[in-house]
Chain A
Amino acid sequence: MSVEPEVPIVQVEEVRENPVLYKIISSDNHVFTISEHAVKLSKTLWDLITNLGLTAENALDNPIPVENVNGKNMETIVQFCERHKYDEEEPEYTNYIREFVLPEWDRQLLSIDNEELFQLILATNYLDIQKLMDYCCRVIGDMAKDKTPEELRIIYGIPTDAEDDALERSASDSPGPSG
């Protein structure tokens, strides 16, 4: 299958010690190149690469199709992974609010429309990128500051009890797989 890229291939910084690069094709046929260190941040992609047996020799000849992520989100994800590929591993959660300051570069990257942020989280969840998920969720959690409960209802789209009940009723009324 030959795919013509519709957007420029994302340029990655050449790493002399580890020049292995992989190609990823988004759901809308955009092609991205990503370094080995960066792609390892995505558990899903790295598992796929390992299972497919891709090596330094054949990686660029075997692009990886990712049907659940569009080009726009993939571009953000590749940028994020390249930026954080040499970060040290974060300590595990505690029960307390984890104290971290979202770096300015990441805050800028994630300063996007709420709908785009929603889609990016779905993509991040699918690709299993822990750090990006943490950062996105932190951005969403921070939206609660200085808001009244009613403003929070609007921002987070939280249904009222009556709406939840109605949703539940319609879900139970809808026919099942056989019906």
Chain B
Amino acid sequence: MNTKPIPLFALPYLAYAKVFHYMDPYHQISISLLSKRAKAFVKFMNNKAELSTCQIGTDITLIANWANSSAIFRIYLLPTEDRSFLKNLNDFEVEHVDFQRFERGNFEVAELQKWKNVGWGVKDYINHFNDMVNKTDGFDILRFCDGAFRYEAKSVRDTVGKFQQLTFIDGRQGNFFLRKVLDTFLPVTKQYIALQNPYESLEVFAKVLSQQFDSLVVNTIESFRCTLTDLLGMKSRSVVINWSELKEMDLNQFFKLWIENQASKDLEYLMLSNSIQLTMERILEGINYQQSGSEEQRTFIHSKHVFSMGQTRAKVNYKKFRGGLDIRRCDGKLGTVHFDNTGFRQTIQFFVWN
């Protein structure tokens, strides 16, 4: 029945704007490849992704998440004869691109297109992607995966452009690569998430801990023996260390110094997943605190730049918990210590309220 085309741009503006409105962003992006005019219109529709990710691994993956769907560019790079490490990312030729659509809550690919490369480099795809998902301020997440060590870190920075969160998906990149990435990205990085072995290079690990991020999340491969000195040296607003070994006395000293306003003045959130069971009474020994009802649900909202994402599709900037022990700093600032012993490890959270 439907034999002839519907000339989209010959429709009244109101009509073709609505047609685009009802399309999945995935289809809008497909159409954006067809002409400059189509691209300009898709950009004008301003269908801003809630979350965008650039994943650097053996191949390059660009992910955009909206409320109901996700679109993924998987850029496959041609292997080069030059086997040397630290090649410029933009020197790799693009072999082809898989473009995938996912529906909310479903991990099966809903649609897949295979595009032959038309002479574009990685940077061209990234620029087009950012334009179409209206992320003019760059990616939310830059994630390094297995295989990323073969790119020169500076070329990754130049190709990818701006981003908010730096994430390492596994710890196999090695310390040389980590060090290069830190040296290259640190001045611009707001958030840092890494899986690493602290004892492979304590120097690199200490450097990470002492940086002033908005948010720092370190998932350690081996339990990290965190001392009072480590705690006092952390300058990030939000710190999460998954798998630490902390002694009660160190934490007790830390809270006492915090109350005296001599420690971590800018800290707003600390979470330690501890492999040793600590007793609340010894941590809070000599500290005045007020216990909040365990049934009372409380919502902690982070400051502007701190957010978590993990497996979720959108930024989350709050945490909900029940009860807790309130302590007060000498300048009147309220902090809440919260213990959770229900999981495999004991979780200690410290919230500093605005």
Residues of A in contact with B (beta carbons under 8 Å apart): 93, 95-99, 111-115, 117-118, 121-122, 125, 133-134, 136-138, 140-149, 152-161, 164
Contacts and interface: CB of A to CB of B under 8 A. Distances in A.
A148 B99 CA distance: 10
Contact of B11 (A118, A147, A153, A154): A118
Interface in B9-59: 9-12, 14-15, 18-25, 27, 30-31, 33-38, 46-48
Contacts of A141: 18-23, 27
Size bracket of the B interface: 35 or more
Given A96-B66, A97-B24, A144-B23, A121 B34 contact: no
A154 B5 contact: yes
A126 to B, nearest CB: 9
Nearest to B41: A158
A152 B34 contact: yes
A136 B14 CA distance: 12
Contacts, number: 124
Contacts of B22: 97-98, 134, 137-138, 140-142
A140 B35 contact: no
Contacts of A152: 27, 30-31, 34
14 contacts: A95-B48, A96-B67, A97-B67, A97-B68, A125-B15, A140-B8, A140-B22, A144-B30, A148-B113, A152-B30, A157-B6, A157-B7, A158-B9, A158-B31
Given A97-B21, A111-B1, A141-B20, A158 B34 contact: yes
B80 interface: no
A146 B10 contact: no
B111 interface: yes
B176 interface: no
Given A114-B2, A141-B23, A148-B113, A158 B18 contact: no
B15 A133 contact: yes
Contacts of A98: 21-22
Nearest to B113: A148
A113 B67 CA distance: 33
A99 to B, nearest CB: 7
Contact of B18 (A137, A148, A157): A137
B294 interface: no
B115 interface: yes
Contact of A99 (B1, B3, B33, B68): B68
A122 B11 CA distance: 7
B83 interface: no
Given A146-B111, A149-B113, A125 B12 contact: yes
Contacts of B19: 137, 140-141
Interface string B115-148: 1000000000000000000000000000000000
A136 B24 CA distance: 16
Contacts of A117: 6
Contact of B1 (A95, A112, A159): A112
B33 A149 contact: yes
A171 to B, nearest CB: 13
Contact of B35 (A118, A144, A147, A158): A158
A96 B23 CA distance: 10
A159 B4 contact: no
Contacts of A99: 68
A144 B20 CA distance: 10
